[in-house]
Amino acid sequence: MQAMLFSAGLGTRLQPLTNNLPKALAPFGNTTLLGYNLKFLSSQGINSFIINTHHFAGKIEEYLIKNDFFGLDIYLSYEDQLLDTAGGIANVKNQIKSEQILLYNVDVISDIDINRMYRYHCEKKTDVSLATRNRKTSRYLLFDESNIMTGWKNEKTKEIKLCHKEKKYKKLAFSGISLLNINVLDKIPKVEKKSVIALYLDICKDHKISAYVHDDDYWFDCGNVEKLQKAETQIFKNIY
């Protein structure tokens, strides 16, 4: 399996750590967010990666060269203009070498079992599997009783987008990790700025998109300094 690590963001919420660094190179323990996730995913058998870059892109390349690309097959995709997550994956369709690809936000830290998620994906014969959790957030993905995606809800604005009109649905929070069959990418008509959530909402009427609930794993959003430091403390002191 191949993985794409989304690393092109500006990292403004991680300032001052990212005043002179891309978000992917924010320090985490004795490594970086990027280094940690490359090692974590490679430990689960993934050895081919796509990394999109934009902000301080040259520093990511320098970091990888300095570390001999961690002994991995890594393709760097520079974005002159930010394309968001769906746009980023559409931009590298020709570089995908496997039937499925794992999409992973570089500022997510988790011990999720990717091989278990893959088995779930295959057993359920789903087009897209979304790692989800029962946690509080301002925006939820909506699923029916069979864990099939039915829509999206913004808790602050009360906006709801439905792809299946279910009378009952449950709310789950997206973990920034998804596994999809590459034929799903054919539904992106062109390379443009678009999020994967927007893509999934566009296609969920015609494609099976399932929730892979991983409440038993630890998971951290390291998108700001406070959250990054909390994850660092809990993981490296083994108190999660």
Is the per-residue pLDDT at 190 higher than 80? no
Could you tell me the residue ranges of all domains in the chain? 2-236
The full DSSP string for 138-181 is SEEEEE-TTSBEEEEEETTT--EEESS--SS-EEEEEEEEEEEE
The full DSSP string for 8-49 is ----GGGTTTTSSS-GGG-EETTEEHHHHHHHHHHTTT--EE
CATH of the domain spanning 2-236: 3.90.550.10
pLDDT on residue 168: 85
Is the per-residue pLDDT at 239 higher than 70? no
pLDDT on residue 191: 82
pTM of the predicted model as reported, rounded to 2 decimal places: 0.95
Is the per-residue pLDDT at 174 higher than 50? yes
Is the per-residue pLDDT at 1 higher than 80? yes
164 or 5, which is more confident: 5
Is the per-residue pLDDT at 240 higher than 80? no
Is the per-residue pLDDT at 169 higher than 50? yes
Contact 44, 114 (CB under 8 A): yes
| pLDDT interval class at 31 (50, 70, 90) | very high
- Mean pLDDT rounded to a whole number for the chain: 94
Is the per-residue pLDDT at 7 higher than 80? yes
pLDDT on residue 128: 98
